[in-house]
């Protein structure tokens, strides 16, 4: 066993180094898109906090999901968050698996570029929707009598820009239609469905997405309409984006693999040769 570990350790480090070299090259090319995606996540959080200033608590609306699913109660609100964190964390780890795995179907930078486009498109629609109509929040801290249901007008711009972190993120109200947790969940699950290779994980991911949706309703964090709208909106958005973006080709295992995305003609043959050389180095390191 010690001999096996000693032999495998150098291979692992060579694999990590070669993959890091490839990813660094892709990041140098796509950094603007990655930065824009991260910036939009902040803007989405800023908008969700901003609508809290407009929130007015009131009687909980009649909801079919509330009649069907018994309330979990405030003390069990963590259950839905636990499922979400599991989905979120598992997806993030999967996107970085090319650094340590022999099986390389994706590139980390390229998959996150695509994910950021999915998220930005879906969240843009979400921002428009929850600013158009503010519903009385069904969550316990958003109901009448709660001190967190309404927040006073901001004293300065800095208070708004900092989103009153972390309370402004944890105890938000008013950003209902449609569910942000469901956006992330469906984007991650559909992305793995498209680019993942384990069929049983795909089935499990969809099952967890359904369970997550039911738990959100049972926790009274969203109305059922927020979940239903998220399910068909995100799927339609991703279908549309996929029809417009160039397909991300699979990484082949042979030395003659092709670039992962159609390369810009502006860079000419030199850019193609650079990508080919980096990808070939990755294969050689894996075979050593």
Q: Which of 181, 242, 267, 286 is catalytic?
A: 181
Q: Which of 102, 222, 242, 274 is catalytic?
A: 222
Q: Which of 49, 52, 226, 275 is catalytic?
A: 226
Catalytic residue at 222? yes
Q: What would the DSSP string read from start to end of the chain?
A: -HHHHHHHHHHHHHHHHHHHHHHHHHHHHHHHHHHHHHHHHHHHHHHHHHHHTT----PPPP-HHHHHSPP--GGGTHHHHHHHHHHHHHHHHHHTGGGT-S-----HHHHHHHHHHHHHHHHHHHHHHHHH-PPPP-SGGGSTT-TTSS-PPPSSHHHHHTTTTTHHHHT--S--SS-HHHHHHHHHHHHHHHH---HHHHHHHHHHHHHHHHHHHHTTSS-HHHHHHHHHHHHHHHHHHHHHSPP-PPPPSSTTPPPSSPPPTTSHHHHHHHHHHHHHHHHHHHH-
Catalytic residue at 181? yes
- Residues involved in catalysis: 181, 222, 226
């Amino acid at each position: 066993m010690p001999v096996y570990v000693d032999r495998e350790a150098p291979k692992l480090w060579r694999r990590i180094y070669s993959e890091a070299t490839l990813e660094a090259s892709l990041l140098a090319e796509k950094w603007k898109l990655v930065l824009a995606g991260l910036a939009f996540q902040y803007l989405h959080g800023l908008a969700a906090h901003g609508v809290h200033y407009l929130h007015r608590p009131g009687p909980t609306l009649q909801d079919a999901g509330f009649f069907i699913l018994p309330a979990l109660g405030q003390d069990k609100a963590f259950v839905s968050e636990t499922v979400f964190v599991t989905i979120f964390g598992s997806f993030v780890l999967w996107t970085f698996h090319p650094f340590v795995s022999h099986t390389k179907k994706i590139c980390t930078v390229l998959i996150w570029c695509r994910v950021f486009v999915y998220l930005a498109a879906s969240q843009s629609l979400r921002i428009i929707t929850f600013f158009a109509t503010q519903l009385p929040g069904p969550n316990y801290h958003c109901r009448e009598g709660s001190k967190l249901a309404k927040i006073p007008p901001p004293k300065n711009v800095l208070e708004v820009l900092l989103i009153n972190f972390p309370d402004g993120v944890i105890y938000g109200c008013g950003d209902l239609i449609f569910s942000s947790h469901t956006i992330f969940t469906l984007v991650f699950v559909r992305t793995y469905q498209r680019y993942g290779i384990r069929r049983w994980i795909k089935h499990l991911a969809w099952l967890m997405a359904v369970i997550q949706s039911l738990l959100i309703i049972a926790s009274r964090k969203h109305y059922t309409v927020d979940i239903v709208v998220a399910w068909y909106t995100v799927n339609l958005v991703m279908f549309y984006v996929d029809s417009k973006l160039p397909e991300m080709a699979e990484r082949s295992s042979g030395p003659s693999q092709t670039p992962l995305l159609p390369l810009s003609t502006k860079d000419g043959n030199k850019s193609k040769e650079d990508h080919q050389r980096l990808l070939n180095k990755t294969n050689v390191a894996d075979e050593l």
